[in-house]
A and B are shown apart, each in its own frame.
Chain A
């Protein structure tokens, strides 16, 4: 079965990436620490009024995720490039999209863990009250992170091989993330409040559509991007 072989390739690449990260830990520790540091700085800049912090919590957490996530994406390709492993990876038989899918899965696991830490710290530092609809809130978070990882991984495959990867990736990625950022923050704020207008559902649909559209678009475009 062809799809089963492809799935094995995807898993192999994801496992390789996660294993590398788990053994080194440097990447994870530095990006998670940066996320927490950004939260603390935002708390200092916006505080100490408790209500003001609570109002700003969603935006602060998302900005911390974006800025620390950007570092993680470049790493996933940089590690390959430094050890000259990208070319052999491209020479392996099988479709190229499996490389993208594998990287995507690896980054998703990696970032998912980081998000868990940053969000927990955010909830504590910004004294967020957990609403009754917290599972939906987690869903919004998950959808937003998927969008972030899909586009982040895609643009990192180019930016990490350019001359100015540190600055190029955020320059390419952040404007693209505007709809995801607006949708995720607005939906989260609605869920944290009373959501009297039932706004959250429309934003969640937009976020889901955004994820699906760019998942398809990046998978199609990756073939052209990864060519040596």
Chain B
């Protein structure tokens, strides 16, 4: 492949929209936190602890969304063999792992005062943890394979097989044990909390898109460096 195909000019590929995106994400995130914390009433059983929901639940949604992105772009990569798809899947996996870790951490912080324990072997907790481990495996595989084509094909396969496993893991641990409250969503919530949750989800979505985008740009640059080094080693340009 020609190095020219890999020339990548950050100023040309929408660096400005990137700045607007991050600004929007930060402003919306801050605004929704302020809104949600000041405007929603203290919950009957949990009091103000319930406020963790505004970040915990959207973080969980973003985790699943990222995994879905990984699945879609992995399938697309095996289908069309476009390197872009592989890089997007990898970026989504990395960002997804961060949101997954955040979901677990926030959940534990919420669980300790409400359930009295940091961790419980409950269906949703356990399957979220297993999902995290699948993300970790995916990222470890990418780290340990040097050939770009092999890395792309293998991680696509791991991404797809891992995604197939997610509902099976969920079902198996649900049968195994369940303690978690009904997952919070606008339909299970008192109306006083739904708006806060909804706009928080939008804020988190903006952050997610910004992160994946940024990670993708870096991945592109890394690939460009690899290609440049390769062609330099071949003695040409």
Contacts and interface: CB of A to CB of B under 8 A. Distances in A.
Q: Among B150, B161, B175, find the residue whose CB has the most chain A CB atoms closer than 10 A.
A: B161
Interface in A182-228: 182-183, 186, 202-203, 206, 209-210, 213-214, 217-218, 221, 224-225, 227
A57 B22 CA distance: 54
B161 A176 contact: yes
A178 interface: yes
Interface stretch (B35-43, B92-100, B134-142, B197-205): B134-142
Contacts of B164: 213-214, 217
Contacts of B165: 175-176, 178-179, 214
B63 to A, nearest CB: 15
Interface size for chain B: under 10, 10 to 19, 20 to 34, or 35 or more residues? 20 to 34
Interface string B40-80: 00000000000000000000000000000000000000100
Interface residues of A, number: 34
A164 interface: yes
B221 to A, nearest CB: 23
Interface string A138-178: 00000000000001001100110111100110011011101
Contacts of A159: 141
Contacts of B136: 171, 175
Nearest to A216: B164
A164 B146 CA distance: 11
Nearest to A164: B144
B172 A178 contact: yes
A179 B169 contact: yes
Contacts of B144: 162-164, 168
A61 to B, nearest CB: 18
A218 B168 contact: no
Contact of A158 (B146, B158, B169): B158
Given A171-B136, A175-B133, A182 B173 contact: yes
B213 interface: no
A183 B172 contact: yes
Contacts of A182: 172-173, 176
B130 interface: yes
Contacts of B172: 178-179, 182-183, 206
A161 to B, nearest CB: 8
Contacts of B157: 158, 221, 224-225
B235 to A, nearest CB: 25
Nearest to B139: A171
A151 B176 CA distance: 22
A168 B140 contact: yes
Contact of B153 (A163, A164, A203, A225): A225
Contacts of B141: 158-159, 162, 168, 172
Contact of A224 (B137, B140, B153, B176): B153
A197 B153 CA distance: 45
Nearest to B172: A179
A17 B140 CA distance: 29
Nearest to A224: B153
Q: Among B134, B157, B160, find the residue whose CB has the most chain A CB atoms closer than 10 A.
A: B157
Contacts of A168: 137, 140-141, 144
Contacts of B137: 168, 171-172, 175-176
B169 A178 contact: yes
A164 B144 CA distance: 6
Contacts of A167: 140
Contact of B154 (A158, A175, A176): A158
Interface of B: 78, 130, 133-134, 136-137, 140-141, 144-146, 150, 153-154, 156-158, 160-162, 164-165, 168-169, 171-173, 175-176
Given A175-B133, A214-B165, 8 more contacts: A155-B158, A161-B150, A163-B145, A175-B165, A176-B134, A203-B175, A224-B78, A224-B153
- 5 pairs of A and B residues whose beta carbons are closest in the complex: A175-B133, A179-B172, A172-B137, A162-B144, A221-B157
26 contacts: A151-B161, A158-B141, A158-B158, A163-B144, A163-B145, A163-B146, A164-B140, A164-B144, A168-B141, A171-B137, A174-B133, A175-B134, A176-B134, A178-B130, A178-B173, A179-B165, A183-B172, A202-B175, A206-B171, A206-B172, A206-B175, A210-B168, A214-B161, A214-B164, A224-B157, A227-B150
